[in-house]
Structure 1
Amino acid sequence: MTLSPSHKALRVLIATLSVGLALLAAFATPAGTLVGAGILIFLTPFVALDPASRLTALLLALHGANWLSSTEVPADVRDWALTGITTVALLTIHLAAALAAALPPAAPLPRATLLRWTRRGLTVIGLALPVWVLLVAQSTDAPSGVPVITYAALASVATLALAFVLARAQDRPRIVTAPGAERR
Protein backbone atom coordinates (compact mmCIF):
# COMPACT_ATOMS: atom_id res chain seq x y z
CA MET A 1 0.00 0.00 0.00
CA THR A 2 1.45 3.31 -1.09
CA LEU A 3 0.68 6.30 1.09
CA SER A 4 0.50 9.84 -0.16
CA PRO A 5 2.60 12.38 1.77
CA SER A 6 -0.53 13.88 3.31
CA HIS A 7 -1.66 10.48 4.60
CA LYS A 8 1.81 9.86 6.01
CA ALA A 9 1.58 13.21 7.81
CA LEU A 10 -1.82 12.27 9.30
CA ARG A 11 -0.45 8.97 10.55
CA VAL A 12 2.62 10.65 12.05
CA LEU A 13 0.31 13.16 13.74
CA ILE A 14 -1.78 10.33 15.22
CA ALA A 15 1.30 8.50 16.50
CA THR A 16 3.00 11.60 17.89
CA LEU A 17 -0.07 12.84 19.76
CA SER A 18 -0.92 9.38 21.08
CA VAL A 19 2.57 8.75 22.45
CA GLY A 20 2.70 12.31 23.81
CA LEU A 21 -0.63 11.86 25.63
CA ALA A 22 0.48 8.54 27.10
CA LEU A 23 3.68 10.10 28.42
CA LEU A 24 1.81 13.19 29.66
CA ALA A 25 -0.56 11.01 31.68
CA ALA A 26 2.33 8.95 33.03
CA PHE A 27 4.62 11.76 34.11
CA ALA A 28 2.54 14.93 34.59
CA THR A 29 -0.31 13.49 36.65
CA PRO A 30 -0.35 12.34 40.26
CA ALA A 31 -1.44 8.75 39.63
CA GLY A 32 -0.02 8.15 36.15
CA THR A 33 1.48 4.74 35.48
CA LEU A 34 4.05 3.43 33.07
CA VAL A 35 1.84 0.38 32.53
CA GLY A 36 -0.98 2.51 31.15
CA ALA A 37 1.46 4.45 28.99
CA GLY A 38 3.01 1.21 27.77
CA ILE A 39 -0.33 -0.23 26.68
CA LEU A 40 -1.21 2.97 24.81
CA ILE A 41 2.20 3.19 23.17
CA PHE A 42 1.94 -0.48 22.15
CA LEU A 43 -1.48 0.09 20.54
CA THR A 44 -0.51 3.34 18.76
CA PRO A 45 1.37 1.86 15.75
CA PHE A 46 -1.57 -0.39 14.90
CA VAL A 47 -3.87 2.63 14.80
CA ALA A 48 -1.36 4.69 12.81
CA LEU A 49 -1.07 1.92 10.23
CA ASP A 50 -4.84 1.41 9.92
CA PRO A 51 -6.77 4.45 11.20
CA ALA A 52 -10.03 3.05 9.79
CA SER A 53 -9.96 0.07 12.15
CA ARG A 54 -11.91 -0.32 15.37
CA LEU A 55 -8.62 -0.06 17.22
CA THR A 56 -8.86 3.71 16.78
CA ALA A 57 -11.98 3.83 18.94
CA LEU A 58 -10.30 1.53 21.44
CA LEU A 59 -7.20 3.75 21.54
CA LEU A 60 -9.30 6.88 22.15
CA ALA A 61 -11.34 5.14 24.85
CA LEU A 62 -8.18 3.85 26.55
CA HIS A 63 -6.62 7.32 26.42
CA GLY A 64 -9.73 8.73 28.09
CA ALA A 65 -9.79 5.98 30.73
CA ASN A 66 -6.05 6.36 31.34
CA TRP A 67 -6.40 10.12 31.75
CA LEU A 68 -9.39 9.84 34.09
CA SER A 69 -7.67 7.21 36.22
CA SER A 70 -4.41 9.18 36.34
CA THR A 71 -5.76 12.55 37.36
CA GLU A 72 -7.87 13.97 40.11
CA VAL A 73 -10.68 16.44 39.63
CA PRO A 74 -8.96 19.58 38.29
CA ALA A 75 -8.49 22.06 41.10
CA ASP A 76 -6.20 24.72 39.69
CA VAL A 77 -5.31 26.29 36.37
CA ARG A 78 -2.42 23.84 35.74
CA ASP A 79 -4.77 20.86 36.05
CA TRP A 80 -7.32 22.50 33.78
CA ALA A 81 -4.61 23.37 31.23
CA LEU A 82 -3.49 19.74 31.15
CA THR A 83 -7.10 18.66 30.72
CA GLY A 84 -7.55 21.15 27.87
CA ILE A 85 -4.37 19.94 26.15
CA THR A 86 -5.54 16.36 26.49
CA THR A 87 -8.96 17.19 25.08
CA VAL A 88 -7.55 18.98 22.05
CA ALA A 89 -5.08 16.13 21.44
CA LEU A 90 -7.85 13.52 21.60
CA LEU A 91 -9.99 15.55 19.20
CA THR A 92 -7.03 15.91 16.85
CA ILE A 93 -6.32 12.16 16.92
CA HIS A 94 -9.98 11.48 16.18
CA LEU A 95 -10.13 13.98 13.30
CA ALA A 96 -6.82 12.80 11.80
CA ALA A 97 -7.92 9.17 11.93
CA ALA A 98 -11.34 9.96 10.46
CA LEU A 99 -9.80 12.04 7.69
CA ALA A 100 -7.24 9.34 6.90
CA ALA A 101 -10.05 6.78 6.73
CA ALA A 102 -12.26 8.98 4.54
CA LEU A 103 -10.01 8.95 1.47
CA PRO A 104 -7.93 6.23 -0.19
CA PRO A 105 -4.40 6.06 1.28
CA ALA A 106 -2.73 6.77 -2.05
CA ALA A 107 -4.86 9.84 -2.74
CA PRO A 108 -3.48 13.18 -1.65
CA LEU A 109 -5.72 15.20 0.60
CA PRO A 110 -7.27 18.09 -1.28
CA ARG A 111 -6.46 21.43 0.31
CA ALA A 112 -10.16 22.34 0.49
CA THR A 113 -10.91 19.12 2.41
CA LEU A 114 -8.08 19.73 4.85
CA LEU A 115 -9.25 23.30 5.43
CA ARG A 116 -12.87 22.17 5.93
CA TRP A 117 -11.84 19.56 8.51
CA THR A 118 -9.57 22.06 10.26
CA ARG A 119 -12.40 24.61 10.43
CA ARG A 120 -14.74 22.00 11.89
CA GLY A 121 -12.20 20.97 14.51
CA LEU A 122 -11.55 24.59 15.45
CA THR A 123 -15.31 25.17 15.65
CA VAL A 124 -15.65 22.32 18.16
CA ILE A 125 -12.77 23.73 20.20
CA GLY A 126 -14.23 27.24 19.97
CA LEU A 127 -17.63 26.04 21.19
CA ALA A 128 -16.07 24.08 24.05
CA LEU A 129 -13.75 26.89 25.13
CA PRO A 130 -16.37 29.01 26.96
CA VAL A 131 -17.49 25.96 28.94
CA TRP A 132 -13.87 25.15 29.78
CA VAL A 133 -13.21 28.72 30.94
CA LEU A 134 -16.36 28.62 33.08
CA LEU A 135 -15.23 25.37 34.68
CA VAL A 136 -11.78 26.80 35.38
CA ALA A 137 -13.35 29.85 37.03
CA GLN A 138 -15.79 27.70 38.99
CA SER A 139 -13.11 25.29 40.25
CA THR A 140 -11.83 27.96 42.63
CA ASP A 141 -15.18 27.92 44.48
CA ALA A 142 -16.86 24.51 44.31
CA PRO A 143 -20.66 24.58 44.63
CA SER A 144 -22.39 22.66 47.38
CA GLY A 145 -24.07 19.37 46.60
CA VAL A 146 -23.03 16.12 44.98
CA PRO A 147 -21.24 16.76 41.67
CA VAL A 148 -21.89 13.22 40.40
CA ILE A 149 -25.65 13.78 40.53
CA THR A 150 -25.28 17.10 38.72
CA TYR A 151 -23.17 15.56 35.97
CA ALA A 152 -25.53 12.60 35.69
CA ALA A 153 -28.47 14.99 35.28
CA LEU A 154 -26.62 16.97 32.60
CA ALA A 155 -25.67 13.76 30.79
CA SER A 156 -29.30 12.59 30.95
CA VAL A 157 -30.57 15.85 29.49
CA ALA A 158 -27.95 15.69 26.72
CA THR A 159 -28.86 12.07 25.94
CA LEU A 160 -32.56 12.93 25.79
CA ALA A 161 -31.83 15.87 23.50
CA LEU A 162 -29.78 13.64 21.21
CA ALA A 163 -32.54 11.01 21.17
CA PHE A 164 -35.08 13.71 20.30
CA VAL A 165 -32.94 15.02 17.44
CA LEU A 166 -32.35 11.51 16.07
CA ALA A 167 -36.05 10.64 16.32
CA ARG A 168 -37.01 13.82 14.48
CA ALA A 169 -34.45 13.09 11.76
CA GLN A 170 -36.01 9.65 11.16
CA ASP A 171 -39.55 11.04 11.02
CA ARG A 172 -38.81 13.60 8.31
CA PRO A 173 -39.79 12.48 4.82
CA ARG A 174 -36.89 12.32 2.45
CA ILE A 175 -37.45 13.58 -1.06
CA VAL A 176 -35.36 11.77 -3.59
CA THR A 177 -35.16 13.24 -7.05
CA ALA A 178 -33.62 11.82 -10.13
CA PRO A 179 -30.33 13.35 -11.25
CA GLY A 180 -31.00 16.39 -13.38
CA ALA A 181 -34.65 16.65 -12.27
CA GLU A 182 -35.84 20.07 -11.15
CA ARG A 183 -37.40 20.65 -7.77
CA ARG A 184 -40.73 22.44 -7.82
Structure 2
Amino acid sequence: MNLEQTFINDLVVLTPAVFEDERGYFFESYSKSKMLDLGIQIDFVQDNQSFSKRGTLRGLHYQNPPFAQTKLVRVLQGEIMDVAVDLRKDSPTYGKCFGLVLSAENKKQLLVPQGFAHGFSVLSETAVVSYKCDQYYNKPSEGGIRFDDASLNIDWGMDLATAIVSEKDLILPDFKNCNSQF
Protein backbone atom coordinates (compact mmCIF):
# COMPACT_ATOMS: atom_id res chain seq x y z
CA MET A 1 0.00 0.00 0.00
CA ASN A 2 1.41 3.36 -1.03
CA LEU A 3 0.50 6.50 0.95
CA GLU A 4 0.53 9.93 -0.68
CA GLN A 5 0.08 12.97 1.57
CA THR A 6 -2.05 15.74 0.01
CA PHE A 7 -1.47 19.44 0.65
CA ILE A 8 -4.04 19.16 3.46
CA ASN A 9 -2.65 17.61 6.65
CA ASP A 10 -4.10 14.15 7.46
CA LEU A 11 -5.94 13.86 4.10
CA VAL A 12 -4.16 11.06 2.25
CA VAL A 13 -4.46 9.02 -0.95
CA LEU A 14 -3.83 5.30 -0.65
CA THR A 15 -2.92 3.14 -3.65
CA PRO A 16 -2.81 -0.62 -3.16
CA ALA A 17 -0.23 -2.96 -4.64
CA VAL A 18 -2.06 -4.70 -7.51
CA PHE A 19 -1.03 -8.15 -8.71
CA GLU A 20 -2.11 -8.89 -12.29
CA ASP A 21 -1.78 -11.95 -14.49
CA GLU A 22 -3.70 -13.67 -17.30
CA ARG A 23 -6.62 -14.38 -14.91
CA GLY A 24 -7.13 -10.74 -13.90
CA TYR A 25 -5.93 -8.97 -10.77
CA PHE A 26 -5.84 -9.19 -6.99
CA PHE A 27 -5.22 -6.55 -4.32
CA GLU A 28 -5.86 -5.97 -0.65
CA SER A 29 -8.29 -3.06 -0.47
CA TYR A 30 -7.85 -2.84 3.28
CA SER A 31 -5.40 -4.34 5.74
CA LYS A 32 -5.39 -3.13 9.33
CA SER A 33 -1.77 -4.21 9.82
CA LYS A 34 -0.62 -2.39 6.67
CA MET A 35 -2.50 0.72 7.77
CA LEU A 36 -0.75 0.52 11.14
CA ASP A 37 2.60 0.22 9.29
CA LEU A 38 1.70 3.50 7.54
CA GLY A 39 0.93 5.14 10.89
CA ILE A 40 -2.84 5.04 10.43
CA GLN A 41 -4.72 3.65 13.42
CA ILE A 42 -8.46 3.67 12.72
CA ASP A 43 -11.10 1.26 13.97
CA PHE A 44 -13.65 1.06 11.16
CA VAL A 45 -17.13 -0.01 12.30
CA GLN A 46 -19.39 0.37 9.26
CA ASP A 47 -19.18 -0.12 5.48
CA ASN A 48 -21.47 1.82 3.13
CA GLN A 49 -22.09 1.40 -0.59
CA SER A 50 -23.93 3.53 -3.13
CA PHE A 51 -24.91 3.15 -6.78
CA SER A 52 -25.32 6.33 -8.82
CA LYS A 53 -25.90 7.40 -12.43
CA ARG A 54 -23.79 9.81 -14.49
CA GLY A 55 -24.30 13.39 -13.36
CA THR A 56 -25.23 12.51 -9.78
CA LEU A 57 -23.66 14.75 -7.16
CA ARG A 58 -23.74 13.64 -3.51
CA GLY A 59 -22.58 15.96 -0.76
CA LEU A 60 -21.03 17.78 0.86
CA HIS A 61 -21.75 15.85 4.09
CA TYR A 62 -20.24 15.46 7.55
CA GLN A 63 -21.17 14.43 11.10
CA ASN A 64 -20.32 16.68 14.04
CA PRO A 65 -18.51 15.42 17.16
CA PRO A 66 -18.81 13.16 19.01
CA PHE A 67 -20.11 11.25 15.98
CA ALA A 68 -17.63 12.64 13.44
CA GLN A 69 -16.60 10.07 10.85
CA THR A 70 -13.32 9.16 9.19
CA LYS A 71 -14.08 7.64 5.77
CA LEU A 72 -11.97 5.44 3.53
CA VAL A 73 -13.53 5.89 0.07
CA ARG A 74 -13.04 3.75 -3.02
CA VAL A 75 -14.82 3.00 -6.29
CA LEU A 76 -15.85 -0.56 -7.16
CA GLN A 77 -17.26 0.30 -10.59
CA GLY A 78 -17.02 3.47 -12.68
CA GLU A 79 -15.37 6.81 -11.96
CA ILE A 80 -16.04 9.73 -9.61
CA MET A 81 -14.61 13.09 -8.64
CA ASP A 82 -14.17 12.70 -4.89
CA VAL A 83 -13.97 15.92 -2.85
CA ALA A 84 -13.07 16.74 0.75
CA VAL A 85 -13.30 20.16 2.45
CA ASP A 86 -11.29 20.92 5.60
CA LEU A 87 -13.69 22.09 8.34
CA ARG A 88 -11.14 22.15 11.18
CA LYS A 89 -11.14 25.79 12.29
CA ASP A 90 -7.62 25.53 13.80
CA SER A 91 -6.15 24.03 10.60
CA PRO A 92 -3.94 26.13 8.29
CA THR A 93 -5.99 24.69 5.40
CA TYR A 94 -9.41 25.50 6.91
CA GLY A 95 -11.91 25.93 4.07
CA LYS A 96 -9.58 24.42 1.47
CA CYS A 97 -10.83 21.71 -0.90
CA PHE A 98 -9.13 18.69 -2.38
CA GLY A 99 -10.50 16.74 -5.33
CA LEU A 100 -9.30 13.51 -6.87
CA VAL A 101 -10.60 11.13 -9.52
CA LEU A 102 -11.24 7.72 -7.96
CA SER A 103 -12.08 4.86 -10.28
CA ALA A 104 -12.34 1.10 -10.46
CA GLU A 105 -9.44 1.31 -12.88
CA ASN A 106 -6.98 3.37 -10.79
CA LYS A 107 -8.01 1.65 -7.52
CA LYS A 108 -6.99 4.71 -5.48
CA GLN A 109 -8.66 5.41 -2.14
CA LEU A 110 -9.12 8.67 -0.29
CA LEU A 111 -8.80 8.64 3.50
CA VAL A 112 -11.03 11.50 4.68
CA PRO A 113 -10.41 12.19 8.39
CA GLN A 114 -12.88 13.47 10.93
CA GLY A 115 -13.29 17.22 10.52
CA PHE A 116 -13.94 17.19 6.78
CA ALA A 117 -17.03 17.51 4.60
CA HIS A 118 -17.13 14.91 1.82
CA GLY A 119 -18.92 14.50 -1.47
CA PHE A 120 -18.56 13.13 -4.98
CA SER A 121 -19.85 13.49 -8.52
CA VAL A 122 -20.27 10.61 -10.96
CA LEU A 123 -18.21 10.98 -14.14
CA SER A 124 -18.93 7.58 -15.72
CA GLU A 125 -22.22 6.10 -16.94
CA THR A 126 -22.73 4.60 -13.47
CA ALA A 127 -20.59 4.22 -10.36
CA VAL A 128 -20.55 2.01 -7.30
CA VAL A 129 -18.82 3.70 -4.37
CA SER A 130 -17.86 1.94 -1.15
CA TYR A 131 -16.55 3.52 2.01
CA LYS A 132 -15.59 2.47 5.49
CA CYS A 133 -16.51 4.64 8.51
CA ASP A 134 -15.09 4.74 12.01
CA GLN A 135 -18.39 5.95 13.52
CA TYR A 136 -21.97 4.84 12.94
CA TYR A 137 -24.43 7.09 11.15
CA ASN A 138 -26.07 9.51 13.58
CA LYS A 139 -28.81 11.66 12.07
CA PRO A 140 -28.88 14.38 14.79
CA SER A 141 -25.16 15.09 14.24
CA GLU A 142 -25.26 15.32 10.44
CA GLY A 143 -24.43 18.53 8.63
CA GLY A 144 -23.62 19.65 5.16
CA ILE A 145 -22.52 22.38 2.80
CA ARG A 146 -24.07 23.32 -0.50
CA PHE A 147 -22.15 21.71 -3.37
CA ASP A 148 -22.03 24.88 -5.47
CA ASP A 149 -20.82 27.30 -2.79
CA ALA A 150 -19.00 30.07 -4.66
CA SER A 151 -16.43 30.58 -1.88
CA LEU A 152 -15.26 26.95 -2.21
CA ASN A 153 -15.21 27.01 -6.04
CA ILE A 154 -15.10 23.20 -6.30
CA ASP A 155 -14.37 21.64 -9.68
CA TRP A 156 -16.73 18.66 -9.74
CA GLY A 157 -15.64 17.67 -13.26
CA MET A 158 -19.14 18.17 -14.63
CA ASP A 159 -21.72 20.79 -15.62
CA LEU A 160 -23.47 21.75 -12.37
CA ALA A 161 -26.50 23.03 -14.31
CA THR A 162 -27.37 19.43 -15.19
CA ALA A 163 -26.29 17.79 -11.90
CA ILE A 164 -28.68 15.31 -10.29
CA VAL A 165 -28.83 16.45 -6.66
CA SER A 166 -31.12 15.31 -3.84
CA GLU A 167 -33.67 17.72 -2.36
CA LYS A 168 -31.81 17.39 0.95
CA ASP A 169 -28.52 18.51 -0.63
CA LEU A 170 -30.15 21.41 -2.49
CA ILE A 171 -31.16 23.09 0.77
CA LEU A 172 -27.82 22.76 2.56
CA PRO A 173 -26.27 26.02 3.79
CA ASP A 174 -23.21 27.63 2.24
CA PHE A 175 -19.78 27.20 3.83
CA LYS A 176 -19.88 30.33 6.02
CA ASN A 177 -23.29 29.36 7.44
CA CYS A 178 -22.76 25.63 8.01
CA ASN A 179 -23.10 24.22 11.52
CA SER A 180 -19.67 22.58 11.65
CA GLN A 181 -18.43 22.06 15.21
CA PHE A 182 -14.83 21.20 14.38
The TM-score range, normalised by the shorter chain, is: under 0.3
TM-score (norm 2): 0.22
Higher strand share: 2
TM-score by length of 1: 0.22
More helix per residue: 1 or 2? 1
Of structures 1 and 2, the larger Rg is shown by: 1
